[in-house]
Amino acid sequence: MKVLTIITNGFEEIETLGTIDILRRGGVDLDIYSLHGTEATGKHGIEIKNLLDIKNLDLLKYDFLFIPGGSQYVELGNSEFFNNVILNFASRNCYIAAICAGPTLLGKLGLLKSKNYTCFKSMNQDFGGNYIEDYSVKDGKLITGISAAGTLDFAFKILEVIKGKYIAEQVKNSIYYYSKK
């Protein structure tokens, strides 16, 4: 599977970079596009450069969409282009993973109806599904995460779907995920 993520200014750094890091450690093929140009600045001022330009995006090259949270959700939600990207993935029955504010974009498009999901608790609305207060929730081809605190669990759930339990466990062990002092 090949993963697509699109970010813009205000992306949540932990959710974005943490998830991308775990996926790449597991050997996942993932491309990062900027909604504008080839750069984006996160919610806490971290700049990412050399992103792929959205003008060159071919959606059919991807079968998994990852939507990070952060205040970027406002601009993403107001973007007809981005909403069409989400609907394209949904119509092709592809995996969609969204964390924190990201799942609210799915909810506003009706994609959480009759689904188990999570999102940043105070942003939960009546999206027609079953809200579960957990770090990450998987329901069919939908994976949702609650917040920055749930990034690792969310990322490992995605990695397990794409690369399997064995690879996910290898990466967990390589970062001492289970280690307690």
Residue 179: what pLDDT?
Answer: 82
Residues 33-89 have pLDDT tens digits of 999 999 999 999 999 999 999 999 999 999 999 999 999 999 999 999 999 999 999
**Chain centre to alpha carbon of residue 144:** 8
Q: In sequence order, what are the residues at sequence separation of 6 or more whose Cβ sits closer than 8 angstroms to the Cβ of residue 28?
A: 1, 3, 159, 162, 163
Q: Is the pLDDT of residue 181 over 90?
A: no
Q: Is the pLDDT of residue 106 over 90?
A: yes
The domain segmentation of the chain, as residue ranges, is: 2-174
Confidence of residue 5 (pLDDT cuts 50, 70, 90): very high
Closest CA to 144 of 116, 170, 175, 163: 116
**Rounded distance between C-alpha atoms, residue 68 and residue 112, angstroms:** 17
Overall pTM > 0.85: yes
Residue 180: what pLDDT?
Answer: 75
| Mean predicted confidence (pLDDT) in 92-110 | 98
For the segment(s) 2-174, the CATH number from 3.40.50.880, 3.60.20.30, 3.40.50.300, 3.40.50.10540 is: 3.40.50.880
Residues 108-142 have pLDDT tens digits of 999 999 999 999 999 999 999 999 999 999 999 99
Roughly how many angstroms between the first and final C-alpha of the chain, as a whole number? 36
Strand order of the β-sheet with 52-53 is 52-53, 29-34, 2-7, 64-67, 95-99, 142-145, 136-139
